[in-house]
Amino acid sequence: MVQKYVFLSCFFLLMHCTSKEDERYAPTPYRLKIPTLFSDKLIPPIIPADNPLTIEGVALGKKLFFDPILSGDETQSCASCHNPQKSFTDQQPFSTGIEGNLGSRNAMPLFNLAWNFDERFAWDGKEFGLERQALEPVSNPIELHSNWQNIGEKLENNAIYKDLFLNAFGSSKIDSTLITKAIAQFERTLISGNAKFDKYVRGETTLTIEEQNGFDVFMDESKGDCFHCHGSNNNPLWTDNKFHNNGLDTHFSDLGLGAVTGDPNDNGKFKTPSIRNLNFTAPYMHDGRFATLEEVINHYSEGLKKSLTIDPLMKQVNEGGVQLSPQEKTNLKAFLRSLSDSEFVQNPDFKK
Amino acid sequence: MKNNIAFLCFLMLLFSSCSPKEEDISVVVNFTHHWNGKVLSNQDLNQLKFTTENGENISVEKLRYLISDLSLTDFKNYHLINFHENTGTSLSISGLAENRYHLTFRFGFSDQDNTDGIYKDLNSVSFGVPTMLGGGYHYMQFDGKYRNDNNDALGFNYHAIRAVDNTDPDNLKFEDTSFEVDLGSVLITNNAKIEIKMNLAEWFKNPNTWNLNELNTVLMPNFQAQKIMRDNGKTVFSLGIVN
């Protein structure tokens, strides 16, 4: 019913601006499979007007994502650090680039990226927009260490890619703009929304007592109070995509957001990661310092470190935290695990 | 319900684009923030430089609040103001007639509008209240640090919601602590700018002197604290410049 009116309105809008004849090749629009929980609870995902999803674009983006052709010596692809079976992380505290150089940040999982409404990517928000983010790893000397000029030429000399770009964008000129557009299209299709907890919210399953009590710890302002930053049953992203200092350090070897904004009040702030798919994404935090969820929970319970920029939501900082009981910790962990979506990591659409 | 709204929007689209406009005045409502006489900007965030009535030095780190039922509009019922990120601090309204308006709004949502999970834009920015406290939405999240009696800077979370007595978790008792703010009558002319001021100091001052050493965090489930916030909130807003 609603769709009808929307459709009608669109129709009228179209009539209004009677289109100029568009001669260019038109690829097939791609229909994003949005989980009902997302469409029921959240505003629509962000798809830039100048890069609509198309079947041809997404397929091309996927091929590029898995293709080592993007790296200087053709040994690494995006997927080397963003492995689909690990929810697109690499399970190392720091990732190794093509020359064996170690980075200083934990590779981030990739899912529900189109719902990052502020479009600030990376742990410190330094990349604005997915298209622009994709520019970075290719030229980064400690990641793929290549150069865009070479890649453009290599792809133009490759008959298969030439066809694919023609089909996706109607262009035989291949450059970083089109390459990153295609990759971003693929990344926007990486949607994770079918964990046990999603099924519970949809009324399809029940939680164990532990999971239910753990969810209560998560939502209780006097206990975990995690929901102010990490989402809830009404925000199925399980992150606010904002930047906070959650009390990891007294002094910062990595300034995080502060290095990007130049504002010392932002020192030690990093983007809240989604707590979906934690079963696959260890180790945790921007520097991978915690190997297990127990360590994460102990951090929030009694390991908080004070600094000027620590978030005011961190309570009883002088005692290290709110001191959850062993039972509360076990429950919290059981709840966190219920947010892992094995269908996502097994989805054949996202594998090479 | 959804259908009706969609249909209405559709109608409005049709009419707004086709019918002649006789009375179509636009105004901008600006929300400004103050500490007693001083106007605040983002430059004032994160510094322990304000002194509450009770004598604690505090900083403002994050401030978001919701108003609803603004008497100038009847199409969208609510509006979220985010001071620290500087979004929603100015609200454009069009389609008004030149006239004297009685300017009122509600701080937060009345119970009637405070339905859990139904506002997608508010869910998307994590403004909800846990189901264990009755669900619905925050009225305000005001976070910062205060210097305690031991000269130590600690966090406070002045979060206003519908007051809930959760002594018996299976039988929650509520009190609607949203409140109407009446700013009197205003002459609306085309392109008028209307300033609505929030004096943050009032949250800690009037009629109840707020002691941050006692009331700092975990205020959402604190039935008494919510009622004090309501009482103090009533003098927080005032009409600023209209031009």
Residue corresponding to tokens 């929810």:
A87
Domain count along chain B: 1
User: Which amino acid makes up residue B131?
Assistant: T
Secondary element (H or E) of residue B81: strand B78-82
Per-domain residue ranges of chain A: 21-191, 196-345
Instruction: Provide the CA A120 distance to its chain's centre, in angstroms.
Output: 10
- What pLDDT, on a 0 to 100 scale, did the predictor assign at position A22? 44
Q: State how far the Cα of B21 lies from the Cα of B27, in Å rounded to an integer.
A: 16
Does B12 reside within a domain? no
DSSP characters for A97-128? Answer: -TTS-B-SSPPPP--SGGG-TT-EESTT--EE
Q: What is the pLDDT of residues B105-128, one digit of tens each?
A: 999 999 999 999 999 999 999 999
Kindly determine whether residue B7 and residue A311, on different chains, have CB atoms separated by under 8 Å: no
B232 by DSSP, 3-state: which? helix
Chain B CB within 8 Å of residue A127 CB: no
Chain B CB within 8 Å of residue A118 CB: no
Q: What is the mean pLDDT of residues A135-164?
A: 92
Structure tokens at A231: 């989402």
Instruction: Tell me the shortest Cα–Cα distance from B64 to chain A, in angstroms.
Output: 13
Kindly determine whether residue A41 and residue B123, on different chains, have CB atoms separated by under 8 Å: yes
For residues B98 and B116, the model is more confident at B116
Of the options 1.10.510.10, 2.60.40.1120, 3.50.50.60, 1.10.760.10, the CATH number for the domain spanning A196-345: 1.10.760.10
Q: State how far the Cα of B184 lies from the Cα of B196, in Å rounded to an integer.
A: 12
- Are the C-beta atoms of residues A308 and A317 closer than 8 Å to each other? no
Q: State how far the Cα of B217 lies from the Cα of B146, in Å rounded to an integer.
A: 11
Residues of A in contact with B2 (CB under 8 A): 1-2
Instruction: Tell me the shortest Cα–Cα distance from B43 to chain A, in angstroms.
Output: 11
Q: Is the pLDDT of residue B64 over 70?
A: yes
- Are the C-beta atoms of residues B214 and B127 closer than 8 Å to each other? no
- Pick B132's closest partner by Cβ from A219, A240, A317: A219
What residues are paired with A244 via a beta bridge?
Answer: A270
Percentage of chain B beyond pLDDT 90 is 82
Q: Left if phi > 0, otherwise alpha if psi is -120 to 50, otherwise beta: which for A121?
A: beta
Q: Is the pLDDT of residue A151 over 50?
A: yes
DSSP characters for B3-51? Answer: HHHHHHHHHHHHHHHHS--SS-EEEEEEEEEEETTEE--GGGTT---EE
Secondary element (H or E) of residue B100: strand B99-107
- Pick A221's closest partner by Cβ from B46, B120, B221: B221
Chain B CB within 8 Å of residue A15 CB: no
* A265 φ/ψ angles, rounded to the nearest 5 degrees: -70, -10
Instruction: Tell me the shortest Cα–Cα distance from B234 to chain A, in angstroms.
Output: 25
- What pLDDT, on a 0 to 100 scale, did the predictor assign at position A193? 98
**Neighbour-count burial of B43, counting CB atoms closer than 10 A to its CB (0-12 exposed, 13-18 middle, 19+ buried):** exposed
Secondary element (H or E) of residue B133: none
Kindly determine whether residue B124 and residue A221, on different chains, have CB atoms separated by under 8 Å: no
* A21-191: CATH topology: Cytochrome Bc1 Complex; Chain D, domain 2 (1.10.760)
Q: State how far the Cα of B52 lies from the Cα of B204, in Å rounded to an integer.
A: 6
Q: State how far the Cα of A309 lies from the Cα of A312, in Å rounded to an integer.
A: 9
Does B5 reside within a domain? no
- What pLDDT, on a 0 to 100 scale, did the predictor assign at position B130? 98
- What pLDDT, on a 0 to 100 scale, did the predictor assign at position B20? 36
- What pLDDT, on a 0 to 100 scale, did the predictor assign at position B74? 65
A-to-B residue pairs, Cβ atoms closer than 8 angstroms: 97
Complex confidence, ipTM: 0.91
What residues are paired with B193 via a beta bridge?
Answer: B28
Does B18 reside within a domain? no
- Are the C-beta atoms of residues A213 and A90 closer than 8 Å to each other? no
Q: What is the pLDDT of residues A68-120, one digit of tens each?
A: 999 988 999 999 999 999 999 998 999 888 788 888 999 999 999 999 999 99
User: Which amino acid makes up residue A128?
Assistant: F
Does B8 reside within a domain? no
Kindly determine whether residue B131 and residue A311, on different chains, have CB atoms separated by under 8 Å: no
Q: State how far the Cα of A92 lies from the Cα of A75, in Å rounded to an integer.
A: 18
Does B137 reside within a domain? yes
- Are the C-beta atoms of residues B180 and B13 closer than 8 Å to each other? no
* A171 φ/ψ angles, rounded to the nearest 5 degrees: -135, 140
Q: What is the pLDDT of residues B213-240, one digit of tens each?
A: 999 999 999 999 999 999 999 999 999 9
Containing structural domain, residue B168: 23-242
- Pick B155's closest partner by Cβ from A12, A232, A312: A312
Give the residue among A200, A193, A203, A202 at the shortest CA–CA distance from A215: A200
Structure tokens at B63: 């401030």
